[in-house]
Structures are given as structure tokens and as C-alpha cells.
Structure 1
């Protein structure tokens, strides 16, 4: 398995989004209270002109604040219904919950969760991808033959059970299909040509995006 902490976020983002368009610029002094992993993420992400997330939104550092319950919400899903927060007294711990539900401790530390989110966002934002629904165990095994699973902690959002894999210039996400005994699997790459080998898997029916 791949240790999430072994993934260099700067290298990962360059691989998937190209070279950054600006030099690193420190966050303003009023943001010094934020946990270091979160400061590092915002400093890094600000180097690109394009948005690096689509299914989640990282609250801008200037808008982060501690709510009445003592928690600081730093990330929300695209609808704003699922939220992630930290306690400034224990900033490496992450808590999450659907809106109006009580906070529950996340399975990951803040630094692990930020890496997890960056990798997962690539599945939805990469230039090229293929998706198969209800793929068999055999097909999934062939798809993942050149990849290793990343040992991310389990997420409750959006649906529990997702597993993430990474290879050379590829990322895949797989979950048990709700409609059959097979797997729903997404595989992405910077270019569609890197996924051409998947078309040889005759049992898989792929939906393709990108060029």
C-alpha cells in the first residue's frame, strides 16, 4: 500500500494540473493561527490559477473562524451539506458531519485528509477518464494491475466504501456497485492515450471523457 504521507502534494499537483503560474506567497499574518497543514495547502494551491477542487470547497484562510461550538469549519462539499472542521486546541484532529448533525471524529488527521481530498478531486477533475459500472472482480483486478492502493482512512461522505489506487500517471477509485455484486470504477489520467489499454478489457463497458 501507498502511505498517504509519502505523496508529495506539490509534485502531485504539477503532474495533474501542470506547472504553477506564480511563486509561493506566504499567507497574511492574521492566518498564523491556522494549523500548519492547512496553511501549507492554501499557500500551495494559490500558485495555480485554476481551481483544484470541484466536489469540495476549502474555505479561504481569511474567512476561517472559530464558531460558537469551538470548531472551525475549513471544508464543505459542493452543496454545503457536509462539513469538515478542526478544534484549534487539537488542530491535527478532524471532525465531520452533515449539516445540523453532531460532529464525529474523522478517520484521518488533517494532513492525511488534505492529501486524500487532493487525490480524490483528481478523479473528477482530470483531463481524461474512463468509468465502468458493475465491473467484475476479474476486470477490476486487471484495471488495477499496475496500481497500488493508497492507505487512506475511510470516509463517510459521499458514500462509504470508496477505495483509491494510484499508478504511474493514473488514479483510480472503486466502490462496490449498489446495483450488483460488481464494482463501479473510475480511472483517470492526464491524457486519454494513457488509458487506451483499458479498451482491451472486453468485459468492461467504459464511458469515456476527455481526449
Structure 2
């Protein structure tokens, strides 16, 4: 299992997006933010291609403390939120709209690695999706990848795991039960595979039992 602390997100972003295309910016107004978050904002700002999808990452100037929690991110619908603790600056919390804050079993640095990989996977030019992959077939899908030891989020459904290799990222979570969408379908997983190049995903064509959806994300690098 990959230790999140061993993932250098600067090297990862360079491999995923190419060399930085923007200069570092001075963020004097961010001085009060936790060091890992402030450094993360400075880092991702060097790649204009780093655009969040599925979540909305607040601009540092929009972060405000409310009842001890500093909200810095929300999902795209505004129904789920993430915040750091304004006192210890190391812990991260998540909550549904009008729900109670719950501690995430990831430190802030680990959370930011998790977030970086999630955004990169969600905005990749090359991807395959399938909402119903049998668990017997899953090893063939993930053959080139290793699981990352993230603590885990409850959003969008508890039980999601992330895997990666040099050129691939996979998000694996519980499959939805068609008869009861709020329940998981036993023996199946929802899988999304993202890659840097189209050719890195071609091995999936050999798994004929899976009908992949190919999202229209733009032109893949051949």
C-alpha cells in the first residue's frame, strides 16, 4: 500500500499536467492559514490546468472562520463542506449541509494529497467509467496499480478507495443498488480509471465483461 506521505504532489502535477505554466504568487493575505494549506495553494496555482471538478475549492480570501471551523471547500451542489479546525490547524472535518462536523481520519497534509489526486483524476483528458464492476473482475482492472492508504472521506459515499500507478489513477467505491439507491450492491464496485495517455487505458479493452463509458473530456494524448 502506498503511503500518502511518500507522494510528492509537485512531481505528480508535473507528470500529470506538464511543466508549470504560471509563476508563484505572493499571498500575504493567506498568512493566517495553516502552512500545508498555504503551501498547497501556492503550488497548485502554478498550473492553470488544475481546475476542480465535483468540488469547489474556495479562494483563500473567501475562507472565513465560523464557530471554530474554517470552511475551504464544498461539493459542486453546496450540500457538503470541508473545514479545518481554526485552533489546532491540523485536523480536517466534513459535514453535510446543516449537519454536524465529523473528523476526517486524515491529517491536513494527507487530505491535500488526496484532494490533489482526486481533482487530477476527475479532470483527466483520458478516462473510463463503469458503475457496476463485479468484484471478481476488479483485480484485472487494477492490475497495474497499488492502493493508496488514505484515511477516507464519507463523501460522496463511504467506502471509496484510490489506487495509482505511474500513469493511472483509479477511484473505486461501492456500487449503487438499483432497487434501493441509498444502499450498496453486494459483490460490485463503481470504478473510474483516469490516465495521462489514451494508450495507458487500452488494456481495459481486453476485459470484455465490462462495458466502459468513455466521457467526453477532450483530446487524449496518443
Q: Scaled by the length of structure 1, what TM-score is found?
A: 0.93
Report what 1:87 is aligned to.
85
Report what 1:142 is aligned to.
140
Q: How far did residue 13 of structure 1 move?
A: 1.3
C-alpha distance after superposition, 1:78-129 (max 9, x if no partner): 1122111122211001111112112111111111111111111222211101
Q: Decide whether aligned partners of structure 1 residues 176 and 103 sit closer, same or farther in structure 2, where only a CA change above 3 A counts.
A: closer
Is the aligned partner of 1:44 residue 2:50? Answer: no
Report what 1:26 is aligned to.
26
Report what 1:204 is aligned to.
210
Cα root mean square deviation, aligned: 1.5
Any unmatched runs of 5+ in structure 2? 178-184
* Distance in structure 1 (CA, Å) of the matches to 2:212 and 2:39: 37
The runs of at least 4 aligned residues of structure 1 exceeding 3 Å deviation read none
Contact kept? 1:45, 1:52, Cα under 8 Å: no
Report what 2:172 is aligned to.
174
Report what 2:201 is aligned to.
195
Q: How far did residue 194 of structure 1 move?
A: 1.0
* Distance in structure 2 (CA, Å) of the matches to 1:49 and 1:200: 35
* Distance in structure 2 (CA, Å) of the matches to 1:134 and 1:200: 17
- Among 73, 76, 86, the alignment partner of 1:75 is 73
Q: How far did residue 43 of structure 1 move?
A: 0.3
SS at match of 1:142: helix
Contact kept? 1:57, 1:75, Cα under 8 Å: yes
Q: Scaled by the length of structure 2, what TM-score is found?
A: 0.89
Contact kept? 1:133, 1:205, Cα under 8 Å: no
- Identify which range, 120-129 or 132-141, moves more after superposition: 132-141
Contact kept? 2:25, 2:42, Cα under 8 Å: yes
Any unmatched runs of 5+ in structure 1? none
Contact kept? 2:71, 2:82, Cα under 8 Å: yes
Report what 1:132 is aligned to.
130
